[in-house]
Structure 1
């Protein structure tokens, strides 16, 4: 199978031709591009169909590798069908397959046949966050010493610098509990959690860590990640949750490695 001069004989440029080729490659309802012929110069519909199927199977395999928990929950047949529709709707834009699937969770949320599993999209978001954290830039995590060195009167104006690997996710469902239960090969027993959950994804050293955090700590971390000062982020959490334990929340975010530095008076303090 070969394109006739890559389509240039018809006056096409490389980029438009590539888009034209890719558009037919992932849509089984479209015929092979007219410029694609077999070695004898005849039509290549059958061979193009084989190539199309191989590409789709490879992309399904890439999604399965990125979302193993989602695959385990749905089962291979359901996952393959769902992934196939996603691939047609959202083809890859990068040659790096680990970059694929950023839109998969959003697709699952709209996928008609997944409506009986309304938490599935949030589980997929945790999986995507895990991989993004794994590939995030290296940075030493914030230790307690730089924070302890800040004068008490300056603590409220201190800003925290999020670690490149840190991801914070919220779910109206017990997505973290479902994710954790299906992350291992052991049989999954009853999941007793029923409340909404917050999930913090970090990579403090070499391994990605995924943990459930309380809503009050999540509110403070969310504010800090958005650039709020410690005083404002903690104040909002205290105003919302009467029993918010600020020292415990700070110790928790330090232990998790969620941040890599602090900024006081506009200057960054290294770890």
Structure 2
């Protein structure tokens, strides 16, 4: 049966010739296959929309459906399982012609994807960052715009598109995924830890780049958010 399942899966996105050992490829057989194709396509579009709700809000269902169909043609092996669907969708939007006039769309899709990854991340990891933590920094107000659609009550959420450097943290400290804009000092600490800098190196960056912020206070704040397990290790 595995050979049949593999052939059937390929036939959903391409020529049905591989099904000839099991299916009579007459008008009736092809009509039945068409029903399955339509059902599979609809399922993939719905799964993609569930993983990219902010993109759907921005462009509308009709536009999104067209984009999802085009994405499916380029990525025919895309998994319709909700958790796995559309990993390459943000990259696809960077080259999708109708999206070229919407420069905020692909980065917003990246944040939608990060939300899904944070939601599915394990509860525990080697640290010091929580395994769900996703960090981004943009030269435009993508984070504020994304928050305005996904977390409209969050501080910093704003329906604007401007050349403003913004950083954002998406993580799941407990049961729910959270997102927040980061100050430059908060970004410096989290990005430094993500890149594996030692405690001394992180402290030095804070002292040099943000002399008005206290390192200990920053670490206490980030730990209270649930994004840090512990401080990075100091070198011997």
Q: Normalised by the size of structure 2, how large is the TM-score? A: 0.82
How do 1:16-55 and structure 2 match up within 5 A?
A: 18=6, 21-26=8-13, 30-36=14-20, 42=26, 44-55=29-40
> CA contact under 8 A between 1:133 and 1:167: conserved in structure 2?
yes
Displacement, 1:114?
A: 0.8
Which runs of 5 or more residues in structure 1 are unaligned? 1-5, 7-12, 141-158, 267-271
Displacement, 1:247?
A: 3.8
| Paired positions, count | 232
Whole-angstrom CA distance in 1 between matches of 2:216 and 2:22 = 70
Displacement, 1:38?
A: 8.3
Q: Structure 2 vs 1, CA of residues 120 and 236 (structure 1 numbering), >3 Å: closer, same or farther?
A: same
Q: Structure 2 vs 1, CA of residues 72 and 84 (structure 1 numbering), >3 Å: closer, same or farther?
A: same
Whole-angstrom CA distance in 1 between matches of 2:80 and 2:22 = 26
Q: Which has the larger radius of gyration?
A: 1
Displacement, 1:23?
A: 4.2
Whole-angstrom CA distance in 2 between matches of 1:224 and 1:185 = 29
Whole-angstrom CA distance in 2 between matches of 1:111 and 1:198 = 26
Moved more, 125-134 or 69-78: 125-134
Q: Structure 2 vs 1, CA of residues 190 and 205 (structure 1 numbering), >3 Å: closer, same or farther?
A: closer
Residues 157-205 of structure 1: per-residue CA shift (max 9 Å, x gap): xx9611111111122221111111112699x985275412111012222
Q: 1:122 aligns with which of 90, 107, 111?
A: 107
Whole-angstrom CA distance in 2 between matches of 1:133 and 1:245 = 29
Q: Normalised by the size of structure 1, how large is the TM-score? A: 0.72
The structure with more strand, counted as a fraction of residues: 1
Q: Which has the higher contact order (CA 8 A, sep 6+)?
A: 1
Whole-angstrom CA distance in 1 between matches of 2:233 and 2:24 = 71
Q: Which residue of 2 aligns with 1:181?
A: 148
